[in-house]
């Protein structure tokens, strides 16, 4: 190939606005503030669907019949447990390690013991996709139990995906309202177009590497504070405001003056309110009224200050922080919960990539030095 493009202008920083694939999976309408999975608005899914049904919708492109959904739910339930070898490895992880590192490592480890490890055909990939969706909550709960010095709690077949996750964290059957809040949170986080972690998954899949490798890449990408890590950052900020006894608006101004980003605000695609934020705002308010109203109230004050100072709207991470905290979940599990949800989107994109694959291999514009003469180490002194 001729080297004519070497000096071509680079794409916008961070590939902003660059379209890298055609997709039928979800539509993120940044101008109108709309999110659609397979043609269905996020509001409709949040009010009527379950995470299991939404995952099946994402994977198949159509809402399942009752019988199809029951079969899918049974498949997920039967794949929830984690093998002894992987559980033993989790017990060996440092107790003070960040849970997203534990999740990333756990996903990779699951790939080594998967019965379809050496088969990357479409049927085997779908079986592995279902296992990943089923096992991620068990992985996160097992690490949470292990770092607290407690044995893992086996999944319960009679509980839905969200309720079972909450149950495996504590051993107590969750309040049905709390379980429904978690279920909707999982629906809201399940898929979001060509976000950074999904793109990472697709880049890995496009080399024809296996689905566990692709999801491991995605998990490592989600971990960053500019992506999934932002929800934990929001809670840290709220806890700090509370501990210091400062006014939330003053803390926001202080951060902005110091040139810091306020976590949970801004978005690459949405130029208006992220449509998931109002749903989470409602949960944060209701749960706050039932438990401790501090975090919701503080969140509203931070939001008002951000609106006044920068005119920037909250994203999905902002009210998910106070929602999860009110459910009694520790702040450093917020991003792993994001992964428990987003894995449905990741595996759907991996299947789509395999179905119509071409290696993803962009170029860099070289702006470095040229034509230097090598000087031997003897002469360099």
Q: Would you please indicate which residues are annotated as catalytic (active-site) residues?
A: 227, 267, 317
Buried-exposed string 33-56: b where 16+ CB fall within 10 A, e elsewhere: bebbbbebebbebbeebbbbbbbb
Q: Are 342 and 289 in contact (CB under 8 A)?
A: no
Rule CB under 6 A: choose which of 49, 315, 320, 344 binds ligand COA. Answer: 315
84-113: contacts with ligand COA (CB under 6 A) = none
**Ranges within 259-288 binding ligand COA (CB under 6 A):** 261-268
- Nearer Cβ to ligand COA (71/226): 226
User: Is residue 316 within the footprint of ligand COA (CB under 6 A)?
Assistant: yes
Q: Cβ-closest residue to ligand COA?
A: 266
For residue 238, give Cα distances in angstroms to 106, 112, 208, 244, 308.
30, 39, 43, 10, 19
The pair of structure tokens assigned to 361 is 């291999």
The residue count for binding ligand COA (CB under 6 A) is: 17
Residue 144 CA to residue 102 CA, distance in Å, equals 10
User: Does 312 interact with ligand COA (rule: CB under 6 A)?
Assistant: yes
Site string for ligand COA, 335-374 (x = CB under 6 A): ----------------------------------------
Q: In the stretch 14-33, what mask flags binding to ligand COA with x, by CB under 6 A?
A: x-------------------
Count the alpha carbons within 13 Å of 370 in the hemisphere toward its beta carbon: 2
304 binds ligand COA, rule: CB under 6 A: no
337, 331 contact by CB (below 8 A): no
**Rounded CA separation 87/234 (Å):** 31
Decide whether 156 or 261 has the Cβ nearer to ligand COA.
Answer: 261
CB 182 within 8 A of CB 327: yes
Give the single-character DSSP code of 5. G
Interface pick for ligand COA out of 82, 206, 230, 237 (rule CB under 6 A): 230
Taking the complex as a whole, the smallest distance from the CB of residue 312 to ligand COA amounts, in Å, to 5
Cα–Cα distance, 101 to 332 (Å, whole number): 11
Candidate ranges 18-26, 31-39, 146-154, 314-322; the one touching ligand COA (CB under 6 A) = 314-322
- Smallest distance, ligand COA to C-beta of residue 97, A: 23
Q: Tokens 């969750």 belong to which residue?
A: 174
Q: Which of 317, 323, 340, 349 binds ligand COA (CB under 6 A)?
A: 317
Residue 121 sits at φ, ψ, to 5 deg, of -70, 170
Q: Which residues contact 84 (CB under 8 A, 6 or more apart)?
A: none
Least Å from the CB of residue 280 to ligand COA: 12
92: its two tokens: 């060996």
Q: Do residues 273 and 317 touch, judged by C-beta distance below 8 A?
A: no
Q: Between residues 46 and 196, which has the closer beta carbon with respect to ligand COA?
A: 196
Q: How far is the CB of 301 from ligand COA (least distance, A)?
A: 16
Q: Are 334 and 320 in contact (CB under 8 A)?
A: yes
Q: How far apart are CA 127 and CA 205, in angstroms?
A: 16
Q: Pick the closer one to ligand COA by CB: 64 or 220.
A: 220
Q: How far is the CB of 247 from ligand COA (least distance, A)?
A: 18
User: Considering the complex, what minimum distance in angstroms separates the CB of residue 5 from ligand COA?
Assistant: 25
Compute, in degrees rounded to 10, the torsion defined by CA atoms 239, 243, 246, 247.
Answer: 40
Interaction between residue 190 and ligand COA (CB under 6 A): no
Q: Which stretch binds ligand COA (CB under 6 A): 79-87, 181-189, 258-266, 346-354?
A: 258-266
Which of 37, 265 has the CB closer to ligand COA? 265
Query: From the CB of 228, what's the least distance to ligand COA, in Å?
Result: 8
In the bound state with ligand COA, the residue whose beta carbon lies nearer, of 14 and 328, is 14
Applying CB under 6 A, the residues found at the interface with ligand COA are 14, 226-227, 230, 261-268, 310, 312, 315-317
């Amino acid at each position: 190939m001729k080297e004519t493009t070497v000096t071509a202008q680079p794409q916008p920083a961070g590939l902003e606005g660059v379209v890298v694939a055609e997709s039928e999976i979800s539509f993120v309408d940044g101008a109108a503030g709309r999110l659609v999975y397979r043609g269905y608005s996020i509001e409709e899914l949040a009010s009527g669907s379950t995470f299991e049904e939404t995952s099946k919708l994402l994977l198949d492109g159509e809402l399942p019949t009752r019988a199809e959904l029951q079969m899918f739910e049974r498949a997920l339930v039967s794949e929830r447990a984690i093998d002894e070898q992987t559980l033993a490895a989790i017990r060996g992880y440092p107790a003070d390690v960040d849970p997203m590192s534990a999740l990333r490592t756990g996903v990779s480890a699951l790939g080594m013991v998967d019965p379809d490890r050496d088969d990357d055909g479409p049927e085997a990939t779908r079986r592995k996709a279902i296992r990943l969706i089923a096992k991620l909550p068990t992985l996160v709960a097992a690490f949470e139990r292990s770092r607290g010095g407690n044995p893992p709690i086996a999944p319960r077949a009679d509980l839905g995906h969200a309720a079972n996750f909450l149950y495996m964290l504590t051993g107590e059957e969750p309040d049905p309202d709390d379980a429904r809040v978690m279920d909707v949170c999982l629906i809201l986080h399940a898929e979001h177009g060509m976000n950074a972690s999904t793109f990472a998954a697709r880049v890995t899949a496009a080399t024809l590497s296996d689905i566990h490798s692709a999801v491991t890449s995605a998990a490592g990408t989600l971990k960053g504070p500019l992506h999934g890590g932002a929800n934990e950052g929001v809670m840290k900020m709220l806890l700090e405001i509370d501990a210091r006894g400062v006014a939330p608006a003053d803390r926001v101004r202080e951060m902005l003056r110091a040139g810091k980003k306020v976590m949970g605000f801004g978005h690459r695609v949405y130029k208006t309110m992220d449509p998931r934020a109002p749903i989470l705002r409602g949960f944060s308010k209701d749960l706050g009224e039932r438990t401790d109203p501090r975090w919701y109230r503080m969140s509203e004050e931070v939001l008002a200050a951000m609106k006044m100072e920068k005119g920037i709207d909250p994203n999905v991470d902002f009210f998910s922080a106070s929602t999860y905290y009110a459910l009694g979940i520790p702040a450093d599990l917020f991003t792993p919960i994001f992964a428990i949800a987003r894995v449905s989107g990741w595996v759907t994109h991996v299947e789509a990539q395999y179905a119509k694959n071409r290696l993803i291999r962009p170029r860099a514009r070289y702006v470095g030095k040229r034509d230097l003469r090598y000087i031997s180490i003897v002469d360099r002194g």
